[in-house]
A and B are shown apart, each in its own frame.
Chain A
Amino acid sequence: MTSSQDSTTTPGGRSWLTRVVLIDDHAMFRSGVRTELGGAVAVVGEAADAPSAIQVVLDTVPDVVLLDVHLPGGGGVAVLQAVLARRPEVRFLALSVSDAAEDVIGVIRAGARGYVTKAITGPELVAAIRRVGEGDAVFSPRLAGFVLDAFTGIDIAAVDEELDQLTPREREVLRLIARGYAYKEVAKELFISVKTVETHVSAVLRKLQLSNRHQLTRWATERRLV
């Protein structure tokens, strides 16, 4: 969390700022996001394609990488794989104009800890970055819907591993998120703490990433035929 490099980007030099690397092949979008993030986080690097992104991230080792899903040089997934193999502690938040489920699930399964669309507002984006930086998962309603669908497609009778299905509670939490509830509201609705909500969401994320369930990898391909 602390680094002298922060002072180059934040006048105040507040060293506890979340250090962020921006990766997007549209320069205009990067500058827009940079402006919007303002002083709320410290942008310590930018990149426009996968190879340079990998370089920048490995050089700066930021707290959070804001990663475009569609990226020259193999997509955001290529960056995730290359970086996480060497620096598993770096956290990624995927950002995309593409709402395609296989893209979203693809980056999550490759190791991103959250997904937001580019239409997200500035304050929401800052909050999402903070959350990911603290190690929590960021589920938008859309992502929650995708995940519910992915695990719904699985034939429950054929499921034997705990990894391959959601618990009823996790399902409930995801449903509320899909309904537009913030974590705090989910907690209130289910009479649990925000921390517990975060735990559930992280567990879902883990299952999504670790499950080798054939149907799950297959789901994205299948559903585009519908």
Chain B
Amino acid sequence: MSVRGQACDDASVTTIDAAPPRYRRAQEDKLLAGVAAGLAHHLRVDVIVVRLTFVVLGAVGGFGLLVYAALWVVVPQDRVETVTAPGLAAAERLGLRPTRRIRLAVGDAGQLLAFAVLALGLAALFQSTSLGVNPVIFWPSVIVAVGVFLIWRQSDESDASPASSVSAGGTGTVGLGVGWRSGGWRHRLRVAIGAGLVVAGLFAFVAASGRLDVAGDVVVGAATAVVGVLLIGGPWLLRIVRDLRDERTERALSQQQADVAAHLHDSVLQTLALIQRQASDPREVVRLARSQERDLRGWLYGVPASPDSSLRIALERVAAEVEEQHGVLIEVVVVGDCPVDPAVHALVRAAREALVNAATHAQTDRVDVFAEVEGNEVMAFVRDRGVGFDPDAIADGRMGVRGSIIERMQRHGGTATVRSTPGGGTEVRLTIKVAPEVHRAGSRQ
């Protein structure tokens, strides 16, 4: 359950429209590291503006490049993985469903190329003015920057997929934090090319500065320094490596346990599905199976959301109650979502009443509930394919429909209409207005 709690916190941070979204490096729109896309999202400006700013600032003296690199290091990646329901996370780790790999589409690659060409062009233009950076420093810096980019990006990618690193390297090999462990010759090749570019850039700098003769001395000096650092920091480094390995093993173990638990639950779900379909008569079995199934399903695959806050949650809870009490199967589909204000609460109560009516009078074992939030209007439909009745023949004394549904809706400025034909089932249609500012679209179960 701790997983859900954490997810709720994340959700409240990332989805409420009032506060600006937290600055995270974007994983979806990114061209390089998601710095610009994340910033654009955070500032709510067009990403192209941010990118162009970076390109211009980067090309003119390299300042933008430094800012970009700094943000890359400091700003954490936007991780979608953290809120995955346990069942889905486990299925992903076990390879039962495709992992979400963010790939650079062709169009994106084109855009990236366009930006690169633009940056180089601007840089060349700037270099040709008197303000230009000394070319002895400039071009080697560009090469080093590309090399560093390749390595960092690799490290980013291994960061982004903790699952794959566990399954591939969970047995204990520890990488250097540059994604070596997550394997694949492509990764290694990229790291190698990156390192090669960095070294080449440095050499180019040394060579271009006209001191090739002292380059040998520089290499010896650098090597000595590295050996020195290793000697001094060696034990400490070793400890870090060991700690890392222990931590990773532990994480792999706990994830394995989670996988097993998820698998068990999954199997229970399968069995329940079978029981439901084969036990045609004993309603009690179906009822128990159904409620157990709902619990498991919600835990394994449900979208974590804060309770009491949304129309969807409220409707699902009401449906669960009626299912539990009356042994009918209720399918709830909600498009969009909104907070539960008094008006929406009235709609939910009316829907509950309609569900109870259907469950007790319609002589059917299945009821559909559909709700949609559109603009500032909420609509809900409760439909069954049961025996139906003649709406004109309802006696005024029958409180169910008149009092609990129609009048309740009217009191809150909404409407309720009942359509029913004997033998043709019943549909109750409820509509109500909500305050426009609380409307929030685009979330559902």
Residues of A within 8 A of B (CB): 25-26, 28-29, 32, 36, 69-78, 97-101, 103, 106, 118-122, 141-142, 144-146, 148-149, 152-153, 175, 178-181, 218-219, 221-226
Query: Is B128 an interface position by the 8 A CB rule?
Result: no
The answer to whether A26 touches B333, judged by C-beta atoms less than 8 angstroms apart, is no
- The segment out of B92-100, B140-148, B179-187 that lies at the interface is B92-100
From DSSP, what is the main secondary structure of chain A's interface residues?
helix
The answer to whether B303 touches A226, judged by C-beta atoms less than 8 angstroms apart, is yes
The answer to whether A72 touches B94, judged by C-beta atoms less than 8 angstroms apart, is yes
Within 8 Å by CB of A106, from B94, B98, B445, lies B98
- Smallest CB-CB A-B distances: 9 pairs: A180-B368, A226-B443, A145-B333, A75-B97, A70-B96, A179-B370, A118-B273, A153-B442, A179-B381
Contacts of A148 in B (CB 8 A): 335, 372
22 contacts between A and B (CB under 8 A): A71-B97, A75-B97, A97-B266, A97-B269, A101-B303, A118-B270, A121-B277, A141-B331, A142-B331, A142-B333, A144-B333, A149-B336, A149-B444, A153-B442, A175-B370, A178-B370, A179-B381, A180-B381, A221-B80, A223-B443, A224-B84, A226-B305
CA–CA, A29 and B268, complex, Å: 11
User: With A74-B97, A179-B368 given, can you name 7 additional A-B contacts, CB distance below 8 Å?
Assistant: A26-B270, A97-B270, A103-B97, A141-B370, A149-B336, A175-B372, A226-B337
Given contacts A98-B91, A224-B303, is CB(A153)–CB(B297) below 8 Å? no
Contacts of B335 in A (CB 8 A): 145, 148-149, 152, 178
Contacts of A221 in B (CB 8 A): 28, 80, 100
The answer to whether A179 touches B442, judged by C-beta atoms less than 8 angstroms apart, is no
CA–CA, A98 and B88, complex, Å: 8
* Size bracket, chain B contacts: 35 or more
CA–CA, A146 and B444, complex, Å: 8
Contacts of B445 in A (CB 8 A): 99
Contacts of B91 in A (CB 8 A): 70, 75, 98
Minimum C-beta distance from A110 to chain B (A): 9
Minimum C-beta distance from B158 to chain A (A): 20
Residues of B within 8 A of A (CB): 10-11, 14-15, 28, 80, 83-85, 87-88, 91, 94-98, 100, 266-267, 269-271, 273-274, 276-278, 293, 297, 300-303, 305, 329, 331, 333-337, 367-368, 370, 372, 381, 383, 385, 427, 441-445
The answer to whether A74 touches B381, judged by C-beta atoms less than 8 angstroms apart, is no
Contacts of B441 in A (CB 8 A): 152-153
CA–CA, A224 and B84, complex, Å: 7
CA–CA, A224 and B98, complex, Å: 16
The answer to whether A226 touches B11, judged by C-beta atoms less than 8 angstroms apart, is yes
CA–CA, A78 and B83, complex, Å: 24
The answer to whether B370 touches A32, judged by C-beta atoms less than 8 angstroms apart, is no
B272's nearest neighbour on chain A, judged by CB, is: A119
The answer to whether A180 touches B277, judged by C-beta atoms less than 8 angstroms apart, is no
The answer to whether A224 touches B96, judged by C-beta atoms less than 8 angstroms apart, is no
From DSSP, what is the main secondary structure of chain B's interface residues?
mixed
Minimum C-beta distance from B335 to chain A (A): 5
The answer to whether A97 touches B11, judged by C-beta atoms less than 8 angstroms apart, is no
Contacts of B427 in A (CB 8 A): 179
Given contacts A153-B441, A178-B333, is CB(A26)–CB(B98) below 8 Å? no
CA–CA, A149 and B374, complex, Å: 11
CA–CA, A152 and B443, complex, Å: 10
Given contacts A97-B297, A179-B427, is CB(A28)–CB(B270) below 8 Å? yes
A-B pairs with CB below 8 Å: how many?
144
Contacts of A152 in B (CB 8 A): 335-336, 441-442
The answer to whether B80 touches A225, judged by C-beta atoms less than 8 angstroms apart, is yes
Given contacts A153-B442, A179-B383, is CB(A25)–CB(B96) below 8 Å? yes
Given contacts A101-B444, A121-B277, A225-B11, is CB(A69)–CB(B266) below 8 Å? no
CA–CA, A175 and B374, complex, Å: 12
A122's nearest neighbour on chain B, judged by CB, is: B277
Contacts of A70 in B (CB 8 A): 91, 96-97, 266
CA–CA, A222 and B11, complex, Å: 11
Contacts of A175 in B (CB 8 A): 370, 372
CA–CA, A66 and B441, complex, Å: 33
Contacts of A226 in B (CB 8 A): 11, 15, 303, 305, 337, 442-443
A219's nearest neighbour on chain B, judged by CB, is: B442
The answer to whether B96 touches A32, judged by C-beta atoms less than 8 angstroms apart, is no
Minimum C-beta distance from A141 to chain B (A): 5
The answer to whether A145 touches B334, judged by C-beta atoms less than 8 angstroms apart, is yes
The answer to whether B274 touches A28, judged by C-beta atoms less than 8 angstroms apart, is yes
The answer to whether A225 touches B15, judged by C-beta atoms less than 8 angstroms apart, is yes
Minimum C-beta distance from A170 to chain B (A): 14
A29's nearest neighbour on chain B, judged by CB, is: B270
Contacts of B442 in A (CB 8 A): 149, 152-153, 219, 222-223, 226
Contacts of B88 in A (CB 8 A): 98, 100, 103
Contacts of A225 in B (CB 8 A): 10-11, 14-15, 80, 83
A181's nearest neighbour on chain B, judged by CB, is: B383
Contacts of B269 in A (CB 8 A): 97
The answer to whether A29 touches B274, judged by C-beta atoms less than 8 angstroms apart, is yes
Within 8 Å by CB of A97, from B10, B15, B273, B331, lies B273
B92's nearest neighbour on chain A, judged by CB, is: A75
CA–CA, A207 and B301, complex, Å: 26
The answer to whether B383 touches A180, judged by C-beta atoms less than 8 angstroms apart, is yes
B298's nearest neighbour on chain A, judged by CB, is: A99
The answer to whether A98 touches B368, judged by C-beta atoms less than 8 angstroms apart, is no
Contacts of A76 in B (CB 8 A): 97
CA–CA, A72 and B93, complex, Å: 10
Minimum C-beta distance from A201 to chain B (A): 16
The answer to whether B372 touches A26, judged by C-beta atoms less than 8 angstroms apart, is no
CA–CA, A144 and B277, complex, Å: 23
The answer to whether A100 touches B85, judged by C-beta atoms less than 8 angstroms apart, is yes
Contacts of B80 in A (CB 8 A): 221, 224-225
